[in-house]
Amino acid sequence: MTGTTLHVATRDGLTFTEAMESAPDGFALLTTPWRYEIVTTDGARRSTPDGVFEARVFNEHTELRWLNDADSGRTVLLSENPAALPPAFARSEPLEAIGTLRGGYLLWGKAVQASDGWTTLSTEHIGSLRVPGVFGRGHHVALATCEYIARDPEHGNAYIAEERLLSFELSEPLRRENA
């Protein structure tokens, strides 16, 4: 494990549309009371679904988080590159991580169809979800993450101080014999 610095900047009072002006080009996870949607950053900028109350917009290098609070919200940007943070945002103390770990969240369902650079995942009990990337029929997909490990200065315990979304990747669920 090697040391890594994660830079963080925040800004309050931005609408979703205003926050998207600072979003990295990549993909947006949009949460509404009615659905959960994955779109490109450009798609989110062009057509905001009604009722979005939370958004996570990311690429391999930067993540923007936006949480609605009465039609405006709190926006947080995270990146290892300090130049990716807009000057209009307040910079927080950088997180000095002692190391990073790649991880991920296995998404429900299996790939059933791919077209136009997107794959539809489906499962009987949950339904379907389109994710970016082309994944072979029957494969599993995960939302890849980077976890930042910090050390408690008082007691020396290591802990996950932050996590940043990265991409969608091919994944195989752990089987009992591999766990």
Whether residue 116 sits in one domain with residue 167: yes
Whether residue 78 sits in one domain with residue 105: no
Domain count, the chain: 2
User: 């947080």: which residue's tokens?
Assistant: 76
pLDDT tens series, the chain, 179 aa: 458 999 999 999 999 999 999 999 999 999 999 888 999 999 999 987 788 999 999 999 999 999 998 778 999 999 999 999 999 999 999 999 999 999 999 999 999 999 999 999 999 888 899 999 999 999 999 999 999 999 998 998 999 999 999 999 999 766 666 55
**40 domain residue, yes or no:** yes
**What pLDDT sits at residue 3?**
82
Classify residue 124 as left (phi > 0), alpha (psi -120 to 50) or beta.
Answer: alpha
**67 domain residue, yes or no:** yes
**149 domain residue, yes or no:** yes
**118 domain residue, yes or no:** yes
Whether residue 85 sits in one domain with residue 41: yes
**126 domain residue, yes or no:** yes
Residue where one domain finishes, among candidates 94, 114, 141: 94
**What pLDDT sits at residue 1?**
46
Q: Quick one: which of 60, 70, 62 has its CA closest to 24?
A: 62
**What pLDDT sits at residue 174?**
65
Structure tokens at 38: 């994955």
**What pLDDT sits at residue 56?**
97
Range of the domain at 108: 99-171
Whether residue 107 sits in one domain with residue 89: no
pTM (two decimals) = 0.90
Residue where one domain finishes, among candidates 36, 64, 94: 94
Handedness of CA 147, 175, 137, 30 (dihedral sign): negative
**What pLDDT sits at residue 129?**
93
**177 domain residue, yes or no:** no
**178 domain residue, yes or no:** no
Whether residue 28 sits in one domain with residue 76: yes
Handedness of CA 38, 39, 40, 45 (dihedral sign): negative
**160 domain residue, yes or no:** yes
Residue where one domain finishes, among candidates 40, 63, 94: 94
Whether residue 139 sits in one domain with residue 90: no
